[in-house]
Structure 1
Amino acid sequence: MQRSKAESEEAGRALGHGGTINADICIIGAGSGGLSVAASTVLLGMKVVLIEKHLMGGDCLNTGCVPSKALIAAARRAHDMRTAGQFGITAVEPQVDATAVNDHIKSVIAGIARNDSVERFTGMGVEVIHAAARFRDKSTVEAGDTLVKAFRFVIATGSSPDVPAIPGLDKVPYLTNESIFDLRQPVGHLVVIGGGSVGMELAQAYLRFGAQVTVLESLKALGRDDPELSDVVLKHVRAEGLVVREGVRVERVSGWPGAVQVMITTPEGVVETVEGTHLLIAAGRRPNVQDLNLEAAGIKYDKRGIMVSSGLVTSNRRVFAIGDVIGGQQFTHVANYHAGIVFRRALFRLPAKVRNELIPWVTFTDPELAQVGLTEDQARQKHGTIQVFRWPYHENDRAQAERATEGFVKVVTDRKGAILGAGIVGREAGELIQIWSLAISQGLKITAMTEWIAPYPTLGEISKRAAMGTYALTAGKPLVRKMVGLLRKLG
């Protein structure tokens, strides 16, 4: 069937060909943040253009959150098979089919991809251009053969793996999060450079698939988290067999496909060589600002990313920047949070601002590690006198039934009881942290967290029991005890 002229022009624009488009808002980057802005603004009748040079859904869908959690889910099943004996079920060594695991990952991506597809967004009325974007001036972007002039722009180009300048690395095959999810063969010994969230999650997953895994970290593994919490994770993964070497300096890399050697210097100054079959670089992220020609638009940036105000406005007042490209906390939910702020500011002119203290994060190791707000050390530095409340998983009936008794909830308040932060290490920590995130967002005191009813038996009771610690502190005060004594005498 022959297309109409209008249909042909629309298809041409989707491929990056289409003359000049005038838009209310132009979004560069179709990752989580960019898609959120596009979906919300087009519903209000705005003329929206979305430019993406690679894959719809961005890093999260294709090479980040989604494939990594699919991989972790598969690894968890393998681990459950090995540890089933504690439930009275005969434990077996799983037969891991690396090709089938990869098919599982691709299937999960495909199941979600339709929600982020070009077809879905063009059906909503968004003009989608598949091309690289480059600013021509403060109000014009070039994408393929198309010029886009817009009243507002949103840069949501995300980030990419940061590959450190290690001697020899350019001559050795290595993996990043952009390539590891394409592996379809078994891994013998995975050497991971970087002990942050990404490195530790993938390290434990491949360990559970039967590989040997060594993590090399220059400082402290999981160093951005409360050490009291992260130490529980490190103790657990080491007990599983993961080798985590902290405080080492990587000197050089050599080798060939299937055999890599990493020369390190230990904290004691001893030079050693770690050998493996595969090398994974998980040493952080860098913002995707290259080739955008930001200078032409008067947009300031540095190696950490695009500089923005608390309202996510760049040095060009027409342009917002959100998500990983501005540095800071690089999580999918942060990009979505930023998208909501842009929506309120750009369309309704509301004075919305970023509140970083509201942003939770989760490391999906087993046990999980979650945090929102200030850690204990940060709270002491900022507020001086604080209160800390804890409750262990092993005192929870559901945790006992699930044989998941490792971990605890930790809550930090100021001396008046205002919640400053919460951290959780243990089963489903990413789910349990959400009620504390809500509490902080609403400015609640710790006493408010004792007043909701947790269904029994659930892990959620652990959070309530941690909050109940405030009554123990109150009961220990001489004045309170004296008052209770007087009331008892009154009958």
Structure 2
Amino acid sequence: MTREVDVAIIGAGTAGLTAQEIVVEKTDNYVIIDDGPLGTTCARVGCMPSKALIAVADDFHKRLFFDEYGISGAKALRPVYSRIMARVRMLRDEFSGGVIHEMSPFMDKLIRKRARFIDPNTLDLGDERIRARRIIIATGSKPWIPERWQPYRDLIIDTDQFFELEDLPGKMAVFGLGPLGIELGQALHRLGVEIIAFSRRKTAGGLTDPDLQTYAFDHFSKEMNIKLGTADIRCKSESGVVVGCESGEWTVDRILLATGRRPNVQGLGLENLGVKLDDRGLPAFDPGTLQIKGLPVFLAGDVNGQKPILHEAADDGNIAGYNATADTTSCFKKRIPLTITFSSPDIAIAGLSHRELTDLGVEFVTGNASWEKLGRARMILGKASGIARIYADKKDGRLLGAELMAPAGEHMAHLLSWAIGAGLTAADALAMPFYHPVPEEALRSALGQILKQTDDPPPDTPLEFCRKSSS
């Protein structure tokens, strides 16, 4: 049996559900195909449950400063891992349950089967086929375990499995210090789990600026036991598993694998599209339209391997949904890039990163900010750390990007990305108010440094003169 539809959406995650919102405005003849757990990656295994755990860990970490605050008795506090993880799962279920509830109006369009391409317009679902004018692939991403580590699979916890833990091990290795590795590793450490983390380079949280990479690595190394080198699994032991790198070996109970995710395309039959696939199994596509060249197929969200971030996936869903129902495809301009790692301090990149600016050959100047001695940061014990690097065009000081590691960095990254998107120069930004005492004050120093390095001379004062009235 073959069913004819206008649009088939493979995947009911953020990208797929956003695409549905656009598609349904143009046609009711569509289907969503998904055989996996519903509720989106973010709500089930990503940004939402991780923040629930981080909140508990950060609150528990504050006890270390209670004596200095003049509050006694904090040393008697103890975490109950089973209750902590139960609460995280409860919140996780609420988040994902809310997503599933929002799907209620179109549940009749949802097919709970696995789809496989027969050709660019036809999908095999096992006991039926779907023939669609346009197809959107929004199958997301999944953790990847190298083949050499498969014999230790029972001792490895990937990021999709982590929140299913009913208890936490006493000692855990963390492979990878990207956003998820640094977030979960620091949270577990603050809850009392003995952490040994591994990183191949001196960096953390996705930073690309060499000065910030070193600063972040050194900062987190003071809090956690971080080993510089290529992590490997050596053997099983009576008490767990032996892990190591160039500098030694350690025995841990479990391994948290946070070395990244890969596009979830296995078994989709993309080889039947008749186009070349790369080493990840992906075809080439236009990043502005998300269309696979010459085919009625679009790649949206984490599956396309561009930026695995919720708001980016939602934007992809908008683009794919629009183009899948339009007579001709349109190219869309993406928003100003913004990524945030919810470590302590926060790590963020707004606009173009140092690496991107360098690769593009842009002539830029850099302003530096520091929270090491900022009064407000010092008032809150444990917060007096962090630096930022703001990049601007050398000619006129127009803001291009920023990388930072700072207290309240999640908020400052938003302000900077908005300023970049609005085309503000350093002089424009300095004309805005900076309240005292707030962490944002440190940015003023960086913006002032930029002004002194640009080709245009800085203004005599950041304040504007009153306009004279004509009389």
The TM-score by the shorter chain falls in which range? 0.7 to 0.9
Distance 1:309 1:84 in 2: 54
Partner of 1:111: 94
- 1:409–1:147: structure 2 CA closer, same or farther, 3 Å change rule? same
Q: Residues 158-177 of structure 1 correspond to what in structure 2 (within 5 A)?
A: 158-166=140-148, 169-170=151-152, 172-177=154-159
Partner of 1:150: 132
Partner of 1:83: 65
Displacement of 1:465 after TM fit? 4.6
Partner of 1:13: none
Displacement of 1:366 after TM fit? 1.0
Cα deviation, 1:93-126, whole Å, max 9, x if unaligned, reads 5311111111111121122223321x53241576
Cα deviation, 1:304-323, whole Å, max 9, x if unaligned, reads 35221122111452111022
- 1:277–1:67: structure 2 CA closer, same or farther, 3 Å change rule? same
Displacement of 1:152 after TM fit? 1.7
Secondary structure of the residue aligned to 1:166 is helix
Displacement of 1:344 after TM fit? 4.1
Distance 2:421 2:459 in 1: 31
- 1:424–1:265: structure 2 CA closer, same or farther, 3 Å change rule? closer
Distance 2:422 2:5 in 1: 37
Partner of 2:367: 389
Partner of 1:368: 346
Q: Residues 177-188 of structure 1 correspond to what in structure 2 (within 5 A)?
A: 177-188=159-170
Displacement of 1:291 after TM fit? 0.8
Please report the RMSD computed on the Cα atoms of aligned residues, expressed in angstroms: 2.9
Displacement of 1:354 after TM fit? 5.6
Distance 1:392 1:300 in 2: 48
- 1:82–1:396: structure 2 CA closer, same or farther, 3 Å change rule? closer
Query: Which moves more between the two structures, 196-205 or 398-407?
Result: 398-407
Distance 2:113 2:410 in 1: 36
2:197 maps to 1:218: no
- 1:424–1:480: structure 2 CA closer, same or farther, 3 Å change rule? closer
State whether residues 202 and 217 of structure 2, in contact with CA within 8 Å, keep that contact through their aligned partners in structure 1: no
Secondary structure of the residue aligned to 1:175 is strand
2:286 maps to 1:309: yes
- 1:37–1:219: structure 2 CA closer, same or farther, 3 Å change rule? same
State whether residues 50 and 184 of structure 2, in contact with CA within 8 Å, keep that contact through their aligned partners in structure 1: yes
Aligned residues: 453
Secondary structure of the residue aligned to 2:201 is coil
Cα deviation, 1:222-254, whole Å, max 9, x if unaligned, reads 2841232233333333222x1111123526332
Cα deviation, 1:200-219, whole Å, max 9, x if unaligned, reads 22111111111110012233
Gaps of 5+ in 2: 461-471
Q: What is the letter of the counterpart of residue 392 of structure 1?
A: S
Secondary structure of the residue aligned to 1:389 is strand
Partner of 1:123: 105
2:240 maps to 1:259: yes
Distance 1:471 1:295 in 2: 53
Distance 1:461 1:164 in 2: 45
Distance 1:53 1:129 in 2: 8
Cα deviation, 1:258-317, whole Å, max 9, x if unaligned, reads 511124333xxxxx3211111122222221111111122335432335221122111452
- 1:165–1:45: structure 2 CA closer, same or farther, 3 Å change rule? closer
Distance 1:20 1:116 in 2: 30
Distance 1:398 1:106 in 2: 35
2:35 maps to 1:35: no
Secondary structure of the residue aligned to 1:203 is helix
State whether residues 122 and 130 of structure 2, in contact with CA within 8 Å, keep that contact through their aligned partners in structure 1: yes
Distance 2:377 2:329 in 1: 44
Distance 1:46 1:308 in 2: 27
Distance 1:448 1:23 in 2: 52
Distance 2:28 2:150 in 1: 51
2:305 maps to 1:327: yes
Q: 2:401 aligns with which of 421, 438, 443?
A: 421
Q: Residues 262-341 of structure 1 correspond to what in structure 2 (within 5 A)?
A: 262-266=243-247, 272-298=248-274, 300-306=276-282, 307-310=284-287, 311-341=289-319
Partner of 1:351: 330
Distance 2:63 2:373 in 1: 26
Distance 2:459 2:435 in 1: 31
Aligned identity (percent) is 27
Gaps of 5+ in 1: 1-18, 267-271, 482-491
Partner of 1:342: 320
Displacement of 1:133 after TM fit? 1.3
- 1:367–1:342: structure 2 CA closer, same or farther, 3 Å change rule? same
- 1:215–1:406: structure 2 CA closer, same or farther, 3 Å change rule? same
- 1:286–1:426: structure 2 CA closer, same or farther, 3 Å change rule? same
Partner of 1:9: none
- 1:146–1:67: structure 2 CA closer, same or farther, 3 Å change rule? farther
Distance 1:450 1:44 in 2: 46
Secondary structure of the residue aligned to 1:301 is coil
Distance 1:304 1:197 in 2: 21
Distance 1:20 1:455 in 2: 64
Q: 2:413 aligns with which of 403, 420, 433?
A: 433
State whether residues 155 and 240 of structure 2, in contact with CA within 8 Å, keep that contact through their aligned partners in structure 1: no
Query: Which moves more between the two structures, 190-199 or 161-170?
Result: 161-170
Q: Residues 42-121 of structure 1 correspond to what in structure 2 (within 5 A)?
A: 42-90=24-72, 91-117=74-100, 119-121=101-103
Q: What is the letter of the counterpart of residue 292 of structure 1?
A: L
Query: Which moves more between the two structures, 221-230 or 71-80?
Result: 221-230
Q: What is the letter of the counterpart of residue 299 of structure 2?
A: A
TM-score, normalised to structure 1's length?
A: 0.83
